Amino acid sequence: MNLGLHNYTALVTGSGQGIGQTIALRLAQERVKVAVNDINAERASETVAKINDAGGAAIEAVFDITDYRAVQQGLHKIESEYGGVDILVNNAAFLLGHHDFLETSPDDWDREIKVCFYGALNCCHVVAKGMVERKTGNIVSIASDAGRIGQAREVAYAASKSAVIGMTKSLAQELGRYNINVNAISPAGTDTPLRQSVEQKELERLGEEKYRERERKILRLYPLRRIGKPEDIANMVVFLASDAACNVTGQVISVNGGYAMPG
């Protein structure tokens, strides 16, 4: 299906691995030129190589999204290579793990909130200026069901994802008059390296038998009885970035196997 994204430029944050990498690869399949952002140069290079090997177009955009000046400099480099950014995907996230709130510290909260929320805020503030000038653009942020319905033992992470949802709705109201669509995607559990790392820690903490019982209980919460895959998220990003979704803005789209169904 041709969604009309040919020759657009996308900046995908945190696209060195996991959901972000899958989003970058999927956009490249639609002939989008992709700026692969990651704080880790090796991971960014790996994603760029995968895209280029598949016949797509991609460049590395290695910078820390929590540093506003670094985002400005990174955008300048992207613009010098590809021109203005048409699609911004705020994907980068950091989850410390599952810990009771009273066992965490301000340093723990700081890292999660800076990456998940301030990173998205910085990128929107820098990239949207060009979109406003061109009177076109599309911003898609990866939120989380943790930010919609809450999540015990992930308080700061859930709070930061809730902030992303508030940012999305507010920006949609401000930027709509410039023909800029702003939406969020809300996954539940998704099989990524980040989740696998957290789950490994839970396995070590609980032991094999209790962990497997926990796994069975978790799957019963999903009507489709499956944990999401990065491809599920990437497909929705491509749709929201396309003209097929031109009248969709300010929305939080659940891609979660039915885990949460907020009204």
Considering the domain boundaries, does residue 244 fall inside one? yes
What pLDDT, on a 0 to 100 scale, did the predictor assign at position 1?
A: 59
Q: State yes or no: pLDDT of 61 exceeds 90.
A: yes
Considering the domain boundaries, does residue 201 fall inside one? no
What pLDDT, on a 0 to 100 scale, did the predictor assign at position 262?
A: 87
Q: How confident is the model at residue 195 (pLDDT cuts 50, 70, 90)?
A: confident
Considering the domain boundaries, does residue 249 fall inside one? yes
Considering the domain boundaries, does residue 217 fall inside one? no
From 14, 17, 54, select the one nearest 32 (Cα to Cα): 54
Q: What is the DSSP string of 100-134?
A: -GGG--HHHHHHHHIIIIIHHHHHHHHHHHHHHHH
Residue type, 99: H
Q: What three-state secondary structure class fits 227? A: coil
Task: Specify whether the CB–CB gap between 88 and 79 falls below 8 A.
Answer: no
Integer Cα distance of 241 and 221 in angstroms: 30
Task: Specify whether the CB–CB gap between 261 and 254 falls below 8 A.
Answer: yes
Domain with residue 24: its CATH number is: 3.40.50.720
State the average pLDDT over residues 79-90: 98
What pLDDT, on a 0 to 100 scale, did the predictor assign at position 169?
A: 98
Considering the domain boundaries, does residue 196 fall inside one? no
What pLDDT, on a 0 to 100 scale, did the predictor assign at position 98?
A: 79
Lowest mean pLDDT among 9-13, 115-119, 186-190: 186-190
What pLDDT, on a 0 to 100 scale, did the predictor assign at position 6?
A: 94
What pLDDT, on a 0 to 100 scale, did the predictor assign at position 109?
A: 96
What pLDDT, on a 0 to 100 scale, did the predictor assign at position 193?
A: 78
Domain count, the chain: 1
Q: State yes or no: pLDDT of 97 exceeds 80.
A: no
Lowest mean pLDDT among 94-103, 116-125, 206-215, 251-260: 94-103
Q: State yes or no: pLDDT of 15 exceeds 70.
A: yes
State the average pLDDT over residues 195-220: 91
State the average pLDDT over residues 109-126: 98
What pLDDT, on a 0 to 100 scale, did the predictor assign at position 192?
A: 85
Considering the domain boundaries, does residue 127 fall inside one? yes
Considering the domain boundaries, does residue 220 fall inside one? no
Q: pTM (2 decimals)?
A: 0.94
In terms of residues, how long is the chain?
Answer: 263
Considering the domain boundaries, does residue 261 fall inside one? no
- Tens digits of residue pLDDT in 237-249: 999 999 999 999 9
Q: State yes or no: pLDDT of 8 exceeds 80.
A: yes
Q: State yes or no: pLDDT of 207 exceeds 90.
A: yes
Supply 262's token pair. Answer: 């907020």
Q: State yes or no: pLDDT of 82 exceeds 70.
A: yes
Residues classed as catalytic:
157
What pLDDT, on a 0 to 100 scale, did the predictor assign at position 96?
A: 85
Q: How confident is the model at residue 217 (pLDDT cuts 50, 70, 90)?
A: very high
State the average pLDDT over residues 117-141: 98
What pLDDT, on a 0 to 100 scale, did the predictor assign at position 232?
A: 98
Q: Which domain holds residue 21?
A: 9-190+229-255
State the average pLDDT over residues 126-153: 96
